[in-house]
Amino acid sequence: MTDIIQLLPDHVANQIAAGEVVQRPASVVKELLENAIDANSSEIKLILKEAGKTLVQVIDNGKGMSTTDARLSFERHATSKIRSAEDLFQLNTKGFRGEALASIAAIAHVELKTKQENQELGSQIIIEGSNVKSQDVAVTPKGTSVAVKNLFFNIPARRNFLKSNTVELRHVVDEFHRVALAHPGIAFSMYHNGSELFNLPLSNYRQRVVNIFGSKTNEKLVPVEEETEVLKVSGFVGKPEYSKKTKSEQFFFVNNRFIKSPYLNHAINAAFEGLLRDGYHPTYFLNLTVDPKTIDINIHPTKTEIKFDDEHTLYAILRSAVKHSLGQFNVAPILDFESNTNLNTPYNFKDKEGATPVIEIDRSFNPFADEVGQKQPQQRSYTKPPTQDWESLYVGLESKSTKSQGDFKEMTFESESKDQSIFKSEDIALEKTTYQLRQKFIVSTIKSGMLIIDQNRAHQRILYENLLKQLTSKEAITQQLLFPLQLNFSNTDVEMLSQMQNDLEHAGFVFSEFSADEITVTGVPVGVPESEVTIVLEQLISDVENDVPDQNFSASDLLAKSMAKSLAIKTGQSLNVEEQEHLLNSLFACKEPAVSPSHKTTFITLGVEDIEKKFM
């Protein structure tokens, strides 16, 4: 029997590793930015073309590499971060697996330029699909420049799975945010298709957050500081009134490394318990510092998940620290058992001296005089009425009685209406044809039995078809605002909305200005309340990030779905009979009443036979 097990060639092994490390352009951005940070850079520049599909280039001013190191860096499991297995539990750097550059070079065209500070000339290496095309001496400034071109050029199936440029750019920006927030001591800049998206100078942590998410973010932040033997917490949480319906502004950093932890996220939600509206999520930017020996980072290829030795202690400390900050800055109500509010001095009496009380004595007061008077009550005189001539009391009584009886004969009495029977006959038509169940479902009778409608999904279908018709015909009616709305968004959100400006205007929105982190709205579609404009646009941004499958779906369809989701009647909203019937009739006037825009069932029918089976 022949042997069937063989070693894989290096280029095949690299492509398999690339499937774990490189999933989209954002993965390349993350690996290259982390390498630039490990090189002790003070300035890092990120350049993109077509959301990274055509070009991802990272330029830093770090310590650079020698000619030998530059060539060796593209080999599998080649790293300068660790020497032995014990080093995995003392990690203070980013990339340590030694697979990033080798994986990237296996599926793209890579050009590397690097030079050390004490060298006059640097090195240039060009690799295409793990094949080294050239290695030459080059004139280049101090540091390293890595250009990754034509991602997935040799794996077309993987390239076809990439989303639209808008979605891919959003993923790249998310990775850029995570790295830039973790290192405020490094200056970052980002360019896309020749335009500058971010220019983040050297700053402290609060300034870095404000520079990324807009100037209005400064007033939303509440500082959090706590230091124990186990954990040190620093950073900021957002005030409850500025919470969002998306989780786009939730950042955990452990030892300057971004992580995802549902368990610790639950601790933050527990601290905000009772302060947030339903469906809203808190904002936080928290740095956690722990002993590297107590965590295991090497459990996920992207290193975004970390295993802690004692999660329960971290949970309790984090929850208490956040709750204490919310109470300390008067964001949440607190009880202070050590202070007595009765002893607080009013502001009006702060600088006044205490006055000596004056005692007044009534010297004419005699307490015994009242008691004597009470013992001797006044005597009342009573005179007995005379009893003679008592017959005169009945004189004329008979005539008055006769007259009054005549008046009573002419009097009419209002008769009370007879009570109707509590059991209505079958021939009496019921006035109420629909009923609302638990403020979520609308129940109506049909010939075959019973109809149950989900009011939220049904209204989404109605709004979706109406909005799609307006967007297609471009005949939406706009309601002009008396006072323009100035809404604050991050730079990338403003860029995303500006790209969809034409579709938004066809839906009825009117914009007068797009600035770096602010937009001005002067008109809204009819039926959209002024207070709902921010919610509609935030929902639209979230849908663009997550829900667009590819470029074949039109922006009009996405906008109609997003606005319908935001403006639809919510579960828990009470409807009167007229509103219930209008919703029922409008639903069955739609082209596809059976499903919502997200392809979920809007109604079910329950036949008489099904009901009778329940009584068997």
DSSP string, 466-507: HHHHHHHHT---EEEEEEEEEEE--HHHHHHHHHTHHHHHHH
Fold of 206-328: Ribosomal Protein S5; domain 2 (3.30.230)
Under a CB-based contact definition with an 8 Å cutoff, are residues 461 and 597 in contact? Answer: yes
Cα distances from 322 to residues 71, 240, 286, in angstroms, run 48, 12, 10
* Closest alpha carbon to 466 in 551, 526, 531: 526
CB contact at 8 A, 478 and 575? no
Q: Give kind and range of the element (H or E) at residue 60.
A: strand 55-60
Q: Where are the domains of the chain?
A: 10-202, 206-328, 437-605
CATH 3.30.1370.100 fits 437-605, yes or no: yes
* Eight-state DSSP code of residue 391: G
The pair of structure tokens assigned to 307 is 């295993």
Residue 549, Cβ neighbours under 10 Å: how many? 9
Please give the angle made by the CA atoms of 499, 53 and 137, to the nearest 5 degrees. Answer: 130
β pairing state of 187-192 and 143-149: unpaired
Q: What share of the chain is helix, strand, coil (3-state, %, to 5)?
A: 40, 20, 40
Task: Please return the burial class of 81, using the count of CB atoms within 10 Å of its CB with bins 0-12, 13-18 and 19+.
Answer: middle
- Could you tell me the two tokens for 232? 């040190």
Contact between 459 and 584 under an 8 Å Cβ cutoff? The reply is: no
DSSP per residue over 416-430, as a string? PPPPPPSS--TTSPP
Q: What distance separates the 2 farthest-apart alpha carbons in the chain?
A: 149
pLDDT in tens, 574-586: 888 888 888 888 8
pLDDT at residue 426 in the model: 41
Write out the two tokens for 538.
């935030």
Q: What angle, rounded to 10 degrees, do the helices at 555-567 and 455-473 form?
A: 140
CA 318 – CA 53 distance, rounded (Å): 40
H or E element that contains 508: none
pLDDT of residue 147: 94
Q: According to the model, what pLDDT value does residue 391 have?
A: 66
Phi, psi for 245 (deg, rounded to 5): -85, -10
What pLDDT score was predicted for residue 233? 92
pTM: 0.67
Residues of the chain where predicted confidence (pLDDT) is lower than 50: 96, 372-373, 375, 408, 420-431, 548-552
Distance CA 1, CA 251 (A): 57
Q: What DSSP assignment string belongs to 359-387?
A: ----TT--HHHHHHHHHSPPPPP--PPP-
Angle at 239 between CA 237 and CA 241, to 5 degrees: 145
Kindly give, in sequence order, each residue whose CB lies less than 8 Å from that of residue 561, ignoring residues fewer than 6 positions away: 464, 543, 547, 597, 598
Q: What is the pLDDT of residue 427?
A: 39
DSSP lists the bridge partners of residue 127 as: 110, 132
To the question of domain 10-202 being in CATH 3.40.640.10, the answer is no
Contact status, residue 124 vs residue 111, Cβ threshold 8 Å: yes
Terminal-residue alpha carbon distance, the chain: 67
Q: Using only C-alpha atoms, what is the Rg of the chain?
A: 39
Tell me if 155 sits within 8 A of 107, measured CB to CB. yes
Please give the single-letter amino acid code of residue 370: D
CB 445 within 8 A of CB 433: yes
Q: Give me 563's structure tokens.
A: 């606005």
Q: Which of 276, 262, 365, 361 is nearest to 305 (CA)?
A: 262
pLDDT of residue 360: 81
φ and ψ at residue 112, rounded to 5 degrees: -115, 130
